[in-house]
Structure 1
């Protein structure tokens, strides 16, 4: 009898399910390589830049140009022109005459414009440096509160999502830090955690999963905090900009939706389910349909898991349950909006960190190390991979991350589902960890 298929299956299981090759030393070595490549490339651009322009004559951290130009328009009394794409691009060109790419329109709501107003009080280079230092510091500090171990500093600083957020001059580290501090504060200071989540009205498409998770988790104080900060920012932006700001934003949103649906924004830059379907040449109606189904499924899973963590908080501990609820909120976020870019996914570092903490307590479960490995490294090449292959991997990787979270949070249901699949198919013999391991915090496991 030929034993080669069994040997191949066993080898694949060791490579992908157990990931025995991913030892702690090797994992740290990969982090060094990624950090050296990502930060080295960014620093080389800074070194060869001249007065804030890179070697091609474009401003460094180019996406920040739109924020800075919008601030300049408001400070000069041209608020209505912020949401006029042609006039906004002229404002960008007046500051950077050689600009040949970038955000030609300001697609953000007045809540974010309110935060942008002070930016042009400083020269561009100083403004972008201060913005990125503050947001990156908040992001790293939140991750360090979650993973304070000494060995965790290197993976945090080398995380590709951090590099991409800084290199693009984007607000992904700001929104990621709001998610992260909500995770850190939810157990002990739920109202403050809600204030952080409410701050995401600056980019409301990232906030879709938050109400579902908080309601299912019955986090009433966090909901109150979110309403205070969210409604407060909306009210402040209305007082500051009035109808000119919000009316212009609604008009710009309609214009952006049309440009996006008709493919004027390259789909390979996007990381959403819609973009993945569009890359496979699905028509717009089908891509939107798949996006809606994915969002409904992800929100349903997130709400169910949040309720499950609430019921198991006595066994897991309040801190673990609360941080897990924010982890599933973040993991469901990539499925909730068709307009999603790679820098928006820096916040995935927090559910990944939560999984690492659980693995350190109970040992690694099959497939977890490989999923975390993919989720950690793929952001650095997500756009290039999609451009070259016309395949968007983000929904698949995000789904794998959400599923390993679900298995950790609801192991009994997962094992019950697995037993039904095994009994029906009769060909899956992969072993799963004992359910009792979840409630044994002292049990040692393989550490990454």
Structure 2
């Protein structure tokens, strides 16, 4: 009796508890709720205090640039407000503007289409610190509202906000939460409020590599009202940017497309360890450009086919939304880790669909358990030369596909029964 209750029994007891948690949806949900209650306040405190303030107006308490990637949004917006909207597309001039505003270590190339100068200019009406805090609050608020509307549950909002990809976006000052929110809202509203859905899809025009799948699905599934609203929204944004800033930024954007390809894809100036695409995975492993493009075309084709099939045969709006959210990042050859943010609502909607159908499958549960590991994606990818980001994206896509497509769902259920 003494031996069974001694130190040697503790690992076995711990493993039994872990196994029980892995096999119980209820225990997994309780753990997620408990973790979120600690992580969300901690995340917000770090973002708004450590990253959002500092001893100098342009520096946070870590000594880094205030807002990191957001710095160039503010600088580009400032140039636009001052009647120099073409400067962000002139790399040497843009780098000098960044240096003057935030110091010599602030070096980013501006690749966004001119429609993004509209919100950038709005942010530049405030000083850098106030702009970063407002940008952070708006992205966080919209994302929380989206999770609430998608799930109808307060605990799902808290769990979603605790996801490391949310923290990643907030600390970088990136726009991934806006992208994830707009794509989610558009997909959920597409049949009930098609004009509003098209508006949401059209607003993602600032990130065309992630925005392109939604109008394609609207076209091939005959959702004409939503497609019309999407096209009208994009045209309105383009005309608004022309009216506000003139032709110069559009000319600069078109002239720098080849430069963007060279900087982002060929030279990987942002780092090979940040690109979670199929293209990036091959390059990270030391493969050739030709091999990288070959794998990217294959993965893109697979993602488009799956999204089309899901939107054609799946009757569940939650799974159709998850299909779009999981497929969209896999199509682009450049997917920085913060642009994996759509996977957060995708996995949440997958879990909701699983709950309605009777519970999570084993591989779905492992996908949810692996979520905290996304905080280590970039260090792990850099250390190993292996794209864990791509694995996460493809795993999410596969789990959604098994639920959304009847044939795959049947085969996966039979496989689980046989394994048991």
**Equivalent in the alignment of 2:90:** 84
**Equivalent in the alignment of 2:244:** 240
Q: Aligned equivalents of 2:159 and 2:21: distance in 1? A: 21
Instruction: Note if contact 1:65-1:102 (Cα within 8 Å) is conserved in structure 2.
Output: no
Q: Aligned equivalents of 1:290 and 1:38: distance in 2? A: 36
Instruction: Note if contact 2:114-2:253 (Cα within 8 Å) is conserved in structure 1.
Output: yes
SS of 2:124 mapped into structure 1: helix
**Equivalent in the alignment of 1:443:** none
* Candidates 319, 323, 330, aligned match of 1:324: 319
Shift of 1:84: 0.7
Q: Aligned equivalents of 1:227 and 1:305: distance in 2? A: 23
Q: Decide whether aligned partners of structure 1 residues 234 and 45 sit closer, same or farther in structure 2, where only a CA change above 3 A counts.
A: closer
**Equivalent in the alignment of 1:64:** 70
Q: Aligned equivalents of 1:247 and 1:28: distance in 2? A: 50
**Equivalent in the alignment of 1:7:** none
SS of 1:429 mapped into structure 2: helix
Q: Aligned equivalents of 2:210 and 2:230: distance in 1? A: 14
| Structure-to-structure mapping, 1:285-364, within 5 angstroms | 285-309=290-314, 313=315, 321-362=316-357, 363-364=359-360
Shift of 1:77: 2.0
Q: Aligned equivalents of 2:39 and 2:385: distance in 1? A: 24
Task: Give ranges in structure 1 of 5+ residues lacking alignment.
Answer: 1-10, 314-320, 432-448
Q: Decide whether aligned partners of structure 1 residues 247 and 327 sit closer, same or farther in structure 2, where only a CA change above 3 A counts.
A: same
* Candidates 168, 187, 193, aligned match of 1:189: 193
**Equivalent in the alignment of 2:362:** 366
* Candidates 54, 58, 68, aligned match of 2:60: 54
Task: Say whether residues 1:258 and 2:254 are aligned partners.
Answer: no
**Equivalent in the alignment of 1:446:** none
Q: Decide whether aligned partners of structure 1 residues 203 and 165 sit closer, same or farther in structure 2, where only a CA change above 3 A counts.
A: same
TM-score (norm 1): 0.82
SS of 1:367 mapped into structure 2: helix
Instruction: Note if contact 2:205-2:211 (Cα within 8 Å) is conserved in structure 1.
Output: yes
**Equivalent in the alignment of 2:410:** 415
**Equivalent in the alignment of 1:396:** 391
**Equivalent in the alignment of 1:200:** 204
Q: Aligned equivalents of 2:246 and 2:54: distance in 1? A: 43
User: Could you report, residue by residue, the CA deviation over 1:148-198 in whole angstroms, capped at 9, with x for unpaired residues?
Assistant: 223223202312222221111111122122112213422321110111001
Shift of 1:390: 1.5
TM-score (norm 2): 0.87
Q: Decide whether aligned partners of structure 1 residues 47 and 228 sit closer, same or farther in structure 2, where only a CA change above 3 A counts.
A: closer
Task: Give ranges in structure 2 of 5+ residues lacking alignment.
Answer: 1-15
Q: Aligned equivalents of 2:88 and 2:378: distance in 1? A: 28
